[in-house]
A and B are shown apart, each in its own frame.
Chain A
Amino acid sequence: MTTEKQTEEQRKDDLERLQRLLLGDDHSRLNLLDKRVSDFESRSNDVAEVLPDAFERIANDPVLEAELEKPMMRTIRASIKRDAPAFAEYLFPVMGPAIRRAVADALKSLVQRINVAMENSFTIKGLRWRLEAARTGVPFAQIVLRHTMRFAVQEVFLIARDTGLVLAHAHRDENLVLDEDAVAAMLTAIQSFIQDSLGMSSDDPLRSAELGNRTLWVINGPEAILACVISGSPPRALRDELMALLESIHARYGERFTENNDTFAKDIGLRVLMQQSLREELDDQQAVSKRGKAYIYWAIAISLLIALVAWKSWQEYQQREFESRVVELFKSQPGYVVSSSRRQNGILLIDGLRDPGTATPVSLLNDQGLTDQGLQFRFKPFLSLEPGLTLKNLRTSMGLTDSTGLALNGGTLLVDGALSGNQAERLTRLAGVHPLINAVDLSGTSLSGEEALQLARIQLGAPDSVEMTPVDGRIAVSGKSSVSWYLEKSGTPQVFGGWKVDFGPLLGELKNAVRTSVGQLDGTEVFFMQRDRLSPESTLTLDAFAQQLSGLQNASTPLGIDLTITLVGHVDGIGTAQQNEQTSRKRVKVVRDSLISAGVDPQHIQSEHPAWSSGNENLSQRRVTVRVTGKDRS
């Protein structure tokens, strides 16, 4: 064993000497390197030294980045699976801000779309866009945004170069009509067709095509192409960006292009890259100028609207004013009663009553300078009691001329001026018949004597026993009448057509009649039996006498004749003076009471008790003598 060990050491020494001879100084450097590699700490330091540079290189190299992504993703997934709560805790501080930012970005985009849509909603172009939205079924905001974009990549197809099949697809517009595979294949066919038709090789691919405001850019890669549908005017730099994107897709996913399944198309990384290709840039200047123009359009539109509203309001106000004026006119017009007024189908219907004696509605309106256009009247006839209209109607119905004046004072119709025919008589008949006329005063009129006489007789209701005679411009009334008639008619001055009625002659005759009656009643005897017991005859006649006397007194007093009634009591002369005086007084009292009870005024009744002669018994003296005298009141 010792010999073997020694041999081994000898061999090592020999080898080292040989290495020194062959390598010289490099031998010691190799030893150092060996030691450095074998030493864990030294090796860790070396890796740490180069790691930052290595990561930077990875970041700049898509292929390395893609290669590194796979193990890193696996590691991260495994770690999350193993300890999900810990990851949630780590992510918590960044999730809030991230979500807020995402929401803010989404809202910003939404607000931008709303703003642009609002700003363009009332321009002529906006209306055109609205029509486009209706025609295509694309939301209006999206149409507006599309037009106000400097450019926007609307749709991107990642197409396998050889098969023409869609590898991935991203788009803004949700309303795709056609199958994406069919569209991509057709694009490929078109490209082939152009190459073939123009005799170009497949190395000279179609790069762009323009249709309307859309541009088709074909970004060609070795295995796949990006077909981008762009609205607006895309800048040159966009092509470079898209090219870089396609290169990145090739680098990451080139090997998977042949997979031809959904898994590849749904790869999150690929989808993110495809979404990134949907670039857009808003044309700020256009949007700003649109905004300015939109304000002008808005201002014009609002002004027009205000003007229209003001004009309509003014028209309405004018119409209302006119209608109000018309209604007020008829309401204030005598002989018109407006019960209702309402507008119907643009016509003002006025319902009410109208006295036929009034002017027609149209002539009334014309007098006020108004037209009856847009008005319809439904007045029913009625008799108005308006004094003015009543007089007017009377004038018409009576055939009175302008020389005859009519007026109403209280319930009295005052007539003056000339009357003819039976006008006076007809007018007087209105009293008590017409609702407004209780009396007719014709004192202001001028009539012939005959007319005045006729009118006076009717007006005064004179009995046939009364005579009326025109004498010297007055009508003398004479003959016989009741005192009451005389008193009633003569109480107020009566004038007919300028003829004053003179009741003087009638009064004289009435007084004479009173005096005659006084003479007839004076000296009437009322006989008694024993003491104050009336005789049978007087019992029968006393009441009638009392009534007569009372009537006479009532008639004479207003005629200015004051009656004095003196009751003289007589006795038969038997008995004592005291007894006889008592008897006399009792008998006078019986008569007096009877007269008073019949209505004779006691103030005008006097009593006398003449002296009696004792011993001269005369039973016929048992009486009361009634003396009646009349005296004109001065």
Chain B
Amino acid sequence: MRTAKVCMVGAFGVGKTSLVRRYIHQQFDESYHTTLGVKIDTRVVDNIEKPIKLVLWDMEGADPFEKDKRPLARIRSYMKGAHGLILVADGTRPATVKTALGLYHDFCREFQYVPAIMLANKADLTAEWRFDDSVMPDALTLYHTSALNGQNIDAAFTALGKALSEL
């Protein structure tokens, strides 16, 4: 079975860790986030033709437009060698979409193109939903997700796993 390194990035408070918690049996304590800035879990996607093991690097929140570039530099070093990306944004906060896309472009400039998906999270907050699907680049597959009710989470991870397994 293949193994793929998948990095999950996004702004602070978009719900990355909640999404991971929803999808994965955790290997390490979440306090690693505050110490290392990353927490690593694994899960096998086996509901596809070529099952694949995802090693999921759940990054701390980062913003490429911030003055303090140290977190971004650390995330870049973590993202090195990633086979896939999961960009996470908060559907109620348009700024987080910008951050996620910024991180994506940053990665593409630094490394190479890899399969990536965008998770517009907190889709359960319909009243506050302000996500504009039209800003999505063609290379990104968009999923409206909710860590609260699990909406689209399995589908998103499965789709990424499938894309990675077919590389």
Give A residues with C-beta under 8 Å from B: 160-166, 178-179, 181-182, 185-186, 189-190, 192-193, 195-197, 202, 260-262
* Chain B hits for A165, CB < 8 A: 3-5, 55, 81
List 9 interface pairs A-B (beta carbons < 8 Å), by A numbering.
A165-B5, A165-B55, A182-B27, A182-B40, A192-B77, A195-B77, A196-B77, A197-B74, A261-B2
Closest to A191 in B: B77
- Please pick, from A161, A163, A197, A202, the residue contacting B83 in the complex, using a CB distance under 8 A: A163
Q: Are B28 and A186 in contact (CB-based, < 8 A)?
A: yes
Classify chain B: how many residues form its interface, as a range. Answer: 20 to 34
Partner of B36, one of A164, A182, A190, A202: A190
Considering residues B57, B77, B82, which has the most beta carbons from chain A within 10 angstroms of its beta carbon? B77
**B residues less than 8 Å from A261 (CB atoms):** 1-2
Task: Please give me the residue from chain B that is nearest to A194 by CB atom.
Answer: B36
Q: Which residues on the A side are within 8 Å of B38 (C-beta)?
A: 189, 193
* Nearest CB of chain A from residue B31's CB, rounded to whole Å: 13
Q: B94-135, CB under 8 A of A: which get 1 and which 0? A: 000000000000000000000000000000000000000000
Q: How far is A160 from B42 in the complex, measured between Cα atoms in Å?
A: 17
B73 CB-CB contact with A under 8 Å: yes
Q: How far is the CB of B17 from chain A (nearest CB, A)?
A: 15
Pair A186/B40 contact, Cβ less than 8 Å: yes
Q: How far is the CA of A189 from the CA of B82 in the complex (A)?
A: 12
Contact A179 B27, beta carbon cutoff 8 Å: yes
Which residue of the partner chain, among A161, A178, A185, contacts B55 with CB atoms under 8 Å?
A185
Q: How far in angstroms is the closest Cβ of chain A from B37?
A: 7
The reply to whether the CB of B41 lies closer than 8 angstroms to some CB of chain A is yes
Report yes or no: B81 in contact with A160, Cβ–Cβ below 8 A: yes
- Knowing A179-B42, A182-B42, A196-B74, the reply to whether A164 touches B1 (Cβ < 8 A) is no
CB distance from B16 to the nearest CB of A (A): 15
Q: How far is the CB of B163 from chain A (nearest CB, A)?
A: 15
* In-complex Cβ contact of B73 among A181, A196, A262 (8 A): A196
Q: Chain B interface (Cβ within 8 Å of chain A)?
A: 1-5, 27-28, 32, 36-38, 40-42, 53, 55, 57, 70, 73-74, 77-78, 80-83
A-B interface contact total, Cβ < 8 Å: 66
Taking the closest CB of chain A, its distance from the CB of B164, in whole angstroms, is 10
A162 CA to B76 CA, complexed, in Å: 12
Q: Which of A182, A195, A260 contacts B2 (CB 8 A)?
A: A260
| A190-B36, A193-B36, A260-B3 known; A162+B55 contact, CB < 8 A | no
Q: Please, which residue of chain A has its CB at the minimum distance from the CB of B76?
A: A196
Report the nearest B residue to A192, measured CB to CB.
Answer: B77
Chain B residues with CB under 8 A of A163: 5, 81-83
Q: How far is the CA of A186 from the CA of B27 in the complex (A)?
A: 10
Determine how close the nearest CB of chain A comes to the CB of B49; give it in whole angstroms.
Answer: 15
Question: Which one of A161, A166, A181, A189 lies within 8 Å of B78 (CB-CB)?
Answer: A189
Within 8 Å CB of B36, what residues of A?
189-190, 193
Q: State the Cβ distance, B160 to closest chain A Cβ, in Å.
A: 16
The CA-CA distance from A196 to B36 in the complex, in Å, is 11
CB distance from A161 to the nearest CB of B (A): 8
Residues in chain B near residue A260, CB distance under 8 A: 2-4
Tell me if A193 and B3 are in contact (CB < 8 A).
Answer: no
Which residues of chain A have C-beta atoms less than 8 A from B2's C-beta? Answer: 260-261
* A262 proximity list for chain B (CB < 8 A): 1
A166: nearest chain-B partner, CB-CB:
B3
State A627–B156 Cα separation when bound (angstroms). 164
Q: Is the CB of A185 within 8 A of B5?
A: yes
What CA separation (Å) do A189 and B79 show in the bound complex? 10
Return the chain A residue nearest B167 by Cβ. A260
Chain A residues contacting B53 (CB-CB under 8 Å) are 181
For A160, A161, A166, A179, the residue with the greatest tally of chain B CB atoms inside 10 Å of its CB is A179
Q: From residue B72, how far is it (CB to closest CB) to chain A in Å?
A: 11
Chain B hits for A192, CB < 8 A: 74, 77-78, 80
Given contacts A163-B81, A196-B74, A189 and B3 within 8 Å (CB-CB): no
Q: Provide the bound-state CA to CA distance between A154 and B2, in Å.
A: 26
Q: What are the residues of chain B within 8 A of A179 when measuring CB–CB? A: 27, 42
* B60 smallest CB distance to A (angstroms): 11
Given A163-B83, A178-B27, A185-B57, does the pair A193, B37 have CB atoms closer than 8 Å? yes
Residue from B1, B4, B27 with most neighbouring chain A CB atoms (10 Å): B27
In the bound complex, CA of A196 to CA of B41 (Å): 22
- Identify 10 new A-B residue pairs, CB closer than 8 A, beyond the known A182-B55, A185-B57, A197-B74: A162-B80, A163-B83, A165-B55, A178-B28, A179-B27, A179-B42, A182-B28, A186-B40, A189-B40, A262-B1
Structural contact, B5 and A164, CB atoms closer than 8 A: yes
Residue of A nearest to B59 (CB): A189
Chain B min CB distance to A256 (Å): 14
Flag if B55 contacts A189 (CB, 8 Å). Answer: no
Give the distance in Å from the alpha carbon of A193 to the alpha carbon of B1 in the complex. Answer: 29
CB distance from B111 to the nearest CB of A (A): 9
A391–chain B nearest beta-carbon distance, Å: 96
Given A181-B42, A186-B40 in contact, is the A193-B5 Cβ separation under 8 Å?
A: no
Say how far B2's CB is from chain A's closest CB, in angstroms: 5
- Nearest B-chain residue to A167, judged by Cβ: B3
In the bound complex, CA of A246 to CA of B36 (Å) = 28
Return chain B residues, CB-CB under 8 Å to A186: 28, 32, 40
- C-alpha spacing A77/B124, complex, angstroms: 61
- Contacting residues, chain B, for A190 (C-beta < 8 A): 36
| Chain B contacts for A182, CB-based, 8 A | 27-28, 40-42, 55
Bound together, the chains give a CA A185 to CA B36 distance in angstroms of 12
Q: How far, in whole Å, are A192 and B37 apart by their CA atoms in the complex?
A: 11
Q: Write the nearest CB–CB distance from B50 to chain A, whole angstroms.
A: 10
Cα of A197 to Cα of B80 in the assembled complex, Å: 16
When distances are taken between beta carbons in the complex, the residues of chain A under 8 Å from B57 are 185, 189
Write the nearest CB–CB distance from A253 to chain B, whole angstroms. 16
Closest 9 CB pairs of A and B: A162-B81, A163-B81, A192-B77, A182-B27, A185-B40, A163-B5, A179-B42, A196-B74, A181-B55
